[in-house]
Amino acid sequence: MTAGHRSGVLASMPPVEGIHYTRFERARMIGARALQISMGAPILLEVPEGVVDPIEIADFEFAKGVIPITVKRG
């Protein structure tokens, strides 16, 4: 394993802890979570009043660091 190489990085860890996702990883996580929400999965946070779009909810969850999706690199 080389320096800087991470595998099995937990997506629910907030970005402030030094974990940076590529725009492709971010899009994949938000898209997958939005699909789960649209299919009836429970929402993990209190969302602002009037927000019903699954993509906006998933993006909000991503910003708060609570998306239950793992990113495996390598």
- Give the sign of the dihedral formed by CA 12, CA 59, CA 5, CA 18: negative
Where residue 57 sits, what CATH number does that domain have? 3.90.940.10
Give how far Cα 4 sits from Cα of 1, 35, 63, 65, 66, Å.
9, 31, 23, 21, 23
Q: Does 64 map to a domain? A: yes
For residue 31, what are the domain limits? Answer: 19-43+50-71
Cα gap 28→4, rounded to integer Å? 22
Two tokens at 51? 């927000």
What is the tens place of the pLDDT at every residue in 30-54?
999 999 999 999 999 999 999 999 9
Q: 38 CB contacts (<8 Å, ≥6 apart)?
A: 54
Q: Does 31 map to a domain? A: yes
What is the tens place of the pLDDT at every residue in 13-22?
444 456 789 9
| Of 5 and 27, the one with more pLDDT | 27
